[in-house]
Amino acid sequence: MPLTPYSGPFGRPELTHLLRRTLFGCSNADLAQFNGSSLDQVVDALLNFTNDAAPPIKAYTAGPPNAPDPNAVDPQVPFGSTWVDTPRYGNNDEELTALTSARVQSYMWWRTGLMVQQDRTMREKLVLFWGNHMPTQVFQVFNPRLSYEYDQLLRTHALGNFRQLMYDVSTSGAMLIYLNGNQNTATAPDENYARELMELFTLGEGSGYTESDVQAAARVLTGWTVRETDIAGTIVLPFTLFRPNQHDTTNKQFSGFFNNTVIQGQTGADAGATELNALLDMIFAKEEVSLFICRELYRFFVHGEIDASAEAEVIVPLAQLFRDNAAAPDQLRTVVRALLTSEHFFSEQIRACMVMSPADLVIGSIRKLNIPMPTPQQFEAQYRVWRDIYWLTAYSGQELLNPPNVAGWPAYYQFPSYDDIWLDTATYPARNFSLQGIIYTGFSTPNNLYQVESRNLQFKVDLVQLVGQFSNAMDPNVVVAEAAELLMAVPISTAVRNQLKTSYLLLGQQSDVYWTDAYEIYVNDPNTSNMTAQLVPSLLLWLFLDMSGAAETQLL
């Protein structure tokens, strides 16, 4: 039975739900962009992207605080140029570590910036999904070029073929280092990656594979390593290398779960690729792969809990579609499109049923509030602000590029809590403080940056300008209603809207004219001497601060 496509109305509520799940935040500009489009048109636009992000650059310096010097660290890379094509170097371990740390952080801030300044496609959400499904930890890999290459791999294959993605992940330098694949040799097989390949990446825990299968898979995967010097000993960009003399050339016997398959031991330069392909063919012949990956997509984009109905009506037909398109280069695009255009995705019980991840909360709020960002010419300021956003997201409970372990963030797999894990008595204050900081303080740069045009900048939400884009900002009822629609996933009652209006926009007065007159005077003359009109920015600030702390603001 195929997945039932959605056939109901596709108005503003449905569009908002779709964009909240596929973008970081749903702004009024996002809604305006797709206004009047059909569901198929919007989903096609969301899935229409390429891997065209410009690489990270050197926006880092060293030296004393009052005399930052770009040449004090990584001097071979000009300030403002990318470092990704320059091999790591250093006269000693201390210099090499300082250079590596600077580039790793540059990569981290750059990745955050791509999320903040995302286009209106699913690219950044999907990269985060795959980075959670097959994670590495950037500080454990501690090789900026390899982390950058891994990010590029996820971007390139985000909507591609899952088996091809798994081959490339299995031979990627970042994953080889993270899960000890570079230490996996014929004389000392390391089972780390083989175990996670089956348990976390393809089949799922308890699917039926055995301990002996993990051991046999580890032997298949022997011989791969990562190098940063060529045959002459010259330092080069890191690359993956297969070493035939470190590969286990014996036959590998698998259990009845895999139909007692024997992968024939290979020799020579192609042995690693040949046996890895045989291993993946064997794994991907199991239906469990399609079911497992479809459940992972569901938990990330739809809901953590998968009840019997969702399993039968969504997961099973979606998995069949996955298998039917096993050889297609856009296999994942087909699967994701079917999920996002399904009847189930737009059902009432699915809307606003998830707690926002910190990335959705922090980055989504920045986008929804239309907070200005530094220009590309102010690149040092860009990386400074992106750094602050990264740590604000981490403070709220999700350190991007550094999930707790190889299983990713518990909110996407921990039964029975799932996304409820994001919000508890410990994390709520941090999440609330983060939103208050975004609304009240915004972001700024210090006066001691190297780049003159990046110094002493302020990036704050202009709430007067923001509500000026509402349908009728002179009407306090419209301001409260549309602010609630922007910030909250769950509608608030008329009584609550009236209370917010009276408490903040009317300052306890009963007549709407109090706000209407004040707002009109202020917009026409921000330097007015009218004391009530002077309060307009503060009234909006108090309103948005109150609304940001509501439970409805935490949902997706």
pLDDT (tens digit, 9 = 90+) per residue, 366-425? Answer: 999 999 999 999 999 999 999 999 999 999 999 999 999 999 999 999 999 999 999 999
In sequence order, the β-bridge partners of residue 374 are none
Closest alpha carbon to 373 in 434, 281, 454, 436:
454
188 contacts 157 by C-beta, under 8 angstroms: no
- Please give the Cα distance from 161 to 322 (Å, whole number): 10
Residue 505 has pLDDT above 80, yes or no: yes
DSSP 65-131: TTS-BGGGS-TTS-TTSB-TTS----SSHHHHHHHHHHHHHHHHHHHHHHHHT--SSSHHHHHHHHH
Query: Three-state DSSP class for 19?
Result: helix
CA 233 vs. chain centroid, Å, equals 38
Closest alpha carbon to 137 in 178, 191, 182, 193:
178
Q: Read off the pLDDT of each residue in 455-476 and give the average, rounded to a whole number.
A: 98
Q: Buried b vs exposed e over 68-99: b needs ≥16 C-beta within 10 Å?
A: bebeebbeebebeebbbebebeeeeeeeeebb
Give the chain's length.
Answer: 556
pLDDT (tens digit, 9 = 90+) per residue, 120-157? Answer: 999 999 999 999 999 999 999 999 999 999 999 999 99
Closest alpha carbon to 432 in 516, 361, 379:
361
Closest alpha carbon to 485 in 10, 20, 8:
20
pLDDT (tens digit, 9 = 90+) per residue, 273-305? Answer: 999 999 999 999 999 999 999 999 999 999 999
**Cα torsion for 168, 170, 176, 180, to the nearest 10°?**
170
Query: Three-state DSSP class for 43?
Result: helix
Tell me, what amino acid is at 39? L
Question: How many other C-beta atoms lie within 10 A of the C-beta of residue 176?
Answer: 25
Q: Which structure tokens are listed for 91?
A: 């006269």
Q: What's this model's pTM, rounded to 2 decimal places?
A: 0.97
In sequence order, the β-bridge partners of residue 394 are none
Phi/psi at 4 (5° precision)? -70, 120
Model confidence at 1, pLDDT cuts 50, 70, 90, reads confident
pLDDT (tens digit, 9 = 90+) per residue, 186-244? Answer: 999 999 999 999 999 999 999 999 999 999 999 999 999 999 999 999 999 999 999 99
Decide the pairing of beta strands 458-459 and 443-444. Answer: antiparallel
Tokens 């009234």 belong to which residue? 539
Model confidence at 35, pLDDT cuts 50, 70, 90, reads very high
pLDDT (tens digit, 9 = 90+) per residue, 529-551? Answer: 999 999 999 999 999 999 999 99
Answer positive or negative: Cα dihedral of 8, 45, 47, 487. Answer: negative
User: pLDDT > 70: what percent of the chain?
Assistant: 100
- Please give the Cα distance from 77 to 61 (Å, whole number): 11
Tell me, what amino acid is at 120? R
- Break the chain into its structural domains and give their ranges: 12-46+305-346, 108-272, 368-459, 463-554
Helices 331-340 and 39-46: crossing angle in degrees, nearest 10, is 140
User: Where on the phi/psi map is residue 357: left (φ > 0), alpha (ψ -120 to 50), or beta?
Assistant: beta
Mean pLDDT of the chain: 97
H/E run at residue 58: none
**Predicted local distance difference test score (pLDDT) of residue 84:** 98
Q: Read off the pLDDT of each residue in 336-340 and give the average, rounded to a whole number.
A: 98
**Predicted local distance difference test score (pLDDT) of residue 186:** 97
- Please give the Cα distance from 8 to 96 (Å, whole number): 59
